[in-house]
Amino acid sequence: MSFFEKIRDGLRKTRDAIFGRIDTMLKSFTKIDDDLFEELEELLVMGDVGIYTAQRICEELKVRVKKEGITDPKEINRLLAEVISEMLKGGQPLKLDTKPSVILVIGVNGVGKTTTIGKMAANFIRQGKKVTLAAADTFRAAAIDQLQIWAERAGADIIKQGEGADPAAVVFDSISSAKAKGSDIIIVDTAGRLHNKKHLMAELEKINRIIDRELPDADKEVLLVLDATTGQNAVNQTKEFKTAAGITGIVLTKLDGTAKGGVVLAIKEELNVPVKYIGVGEQIDDLQPFDPDEFARALFGAEAPSEPETEQQETADKPVEDDLKPATADIWAQIDAEAEAEKQAEEEKEKAKTEEEILAEEQAKAALEAEKAEEKKRKAEERKNRAKKYNWSTVQETTPADSDWLEQWRSGKNEE
Ligand SMILES: Nc1nc2c(ncn2[C@@H]2O[C@H](COP(=O)(O)OP(=O)(O)O)[C@@H](O)[C@H]2O)c(=O)[nH]1
Ligand SMILES: [Mg+2]
């Protein structure tokens, strides 16, 4: 499968749900009028393009329709592809010219950071680069194991410490190792606990400080990984991280599993952060550098470009050997099995207890709970004071369900 076919395949859901519908809608119109643009705007919003961006697209279309003297609604499709592709332009490829250079990978839990790092490492290694992975997500042992598996698949070095180790210390070790071994690129995996923003941002800041101190002249990219299936929530996450962590680009994952691919447009247009890579599956070769033209063409279901592929492309497309195929399911099965075993051991212990033991335990538990409640109250007070001091906003972790949100938007619009 060529790169383009992969993207087209990955964007199938977005295409079917949104751009397929746009196509059908356009066919139902015999002339271009306000109703047509109204419906188009609504379909774009449903595709997580965002209200602001949907309006901008329609304004731009109206200008072009007038300028080109277009009267056939079917022509709108072509114009739409043009506008979208132009909108997405302007991102630079990653700048990683120094040896070593650093990619810091950040984002909330489960968006696909570790998987993306594995895929990125494999890409760089195929280009002949030497890669060191830093296991700076030390929050759970399983996270370190997962990165280890990816390092083996990709053929990268990995520097790790135990669970709970200081992430900045892992980064420090990785830099020393990369310097000693002559690595080209260090990729840093980080934890993503947005529910504790202060802690997370402090951790990222410390990692950044270590990098800047140890490699003051190195090229550094800070990539924020976003899960496309979360739609508009991904836009909110970008806002949160953009101010705090100095991101230089976005990796948008899981485009294969979602109809919300239009969120790429919202991120680029509303927040002006370039999308550098897109993830279109769980396999090691399912990461693509973001190409606005290809992306726009794939959204509209165009055929693959007809020019013959160059030899270089063919080598790049060649699938890695079978034993390099990720077994993500195995990792999760392992994690589940560990959790299950833990739970069973706990249950066995529970069964063996006497009545006095249970009573004593309950009293101890109640005392502990009281202590915790007190501590929580104190911490909340502290947080409030600090938030006041630094003028932090609270983190918005969820957005209303899309349908609710669309309803709100519609009713808001009708009131105008
Ligand atoms: N379908 C699909 N799944 C992905 C993609 N990227 C990551 N995943 C899956 O998302 C889940 C979480 O990924 P992980 O890398 O552990 O996320 P992290 O917590 O941010 O490190 C895993 O099951 C991955 O296989 C993608 O592009 N497409
Ligand atoms: Mg991870």
Give the pTM.
0.71
pLDDT value for 309: 40
Alpha carbon of 330 to ligand 2 centroid (Å)? 15
**47 or 123, which is more confident?**
123
Are the C-beta atoms of 93 and 289 separated by less than 8 Å?
yes
CA 414/CA 409 separation, integer angstroms: 9
**Containing H/E element for 135?**
strand 131-136
Does any ligand 1 atom lie closer than 6 A to the CB of residue 230? no
Q: What percent of the chain has pLDDT over 70?
A: 81
Alpha carbon of 354 to ligand 2 centroid (Å)? 41
pLDDT value for 390: 53
Give, using CA atoms, the residue closest to atom 17 of ligand 1. 112
Residue 395 reports pLDDT greater than 70: no
pLDDT value for 336: 54
Alpha carbon of 361 to ligand 1 centroid (Å)? 40
Average pLDDT, rounded, for the chain: 81
pLDDT value for 103: 98
Identify the band that residue 406 occupies on the pLDDT scale cut at 50, 70 and 90.
very low
pLDDT value for 410: 45
Structure confidence by residue, pLDDT tens digits, 359-374: 888 999 999 999 989 9
- The ligand minimizing its distance to the Cα of 110 is 1
Structure confidence by residue, pLDDT tens digits, 301-320: 655 444 444 433 333 333 33
**Most informative mutation of 188, 282, 285 for ligand 1 (most atoms within 8 A of CB):** 282
Does any ligand 1 atom lie closer than 6 A to the CB of residue 115? yes
Identify the band that residue 404 occupies on the pLDDT scale cut at 50, 70 and 90.
very low
- The ligand minimizing its distance to the Cα of 227 is 1
Q: What percent of the chain has pLDDT over 90?
A: 42
DSSP state of 184: S
Nearest atom, ligand 1, residue 119 CA: 6
**Most informative mutation of 14, 108, 115 for ligand 1 (most atoms within 8 A of CB):** 115
Does any ligand 1 atom lie closer than 6 A to the CB of residue 192? yes
Alpha carbon of 79 to ligand 2 centroid (Å)? 40
Structure confidence by residue, pLDDT tens digits, 317-368: 333 333 333 333 344 354 456 556 767 887 887 777 778 888 888 999 999 9
| DSSP letters spanning 261-303 | TTHHHHHHHHH---EEEEE-SSSTT-EEE--HHHHHHHHTTPP
Structure confidence by residue, pLDDT tens digits, 51-77: 899 999 999 999 999 999 999 998 998
Structure confidence by residue, pLDDT tens digits, 244-261: 678 899 999 998 878 888
Does any ligand 1 atom lie closer than 6 A to the CB of residue 119? no
CA 43/CA 260 separation, integer angstroms: 12
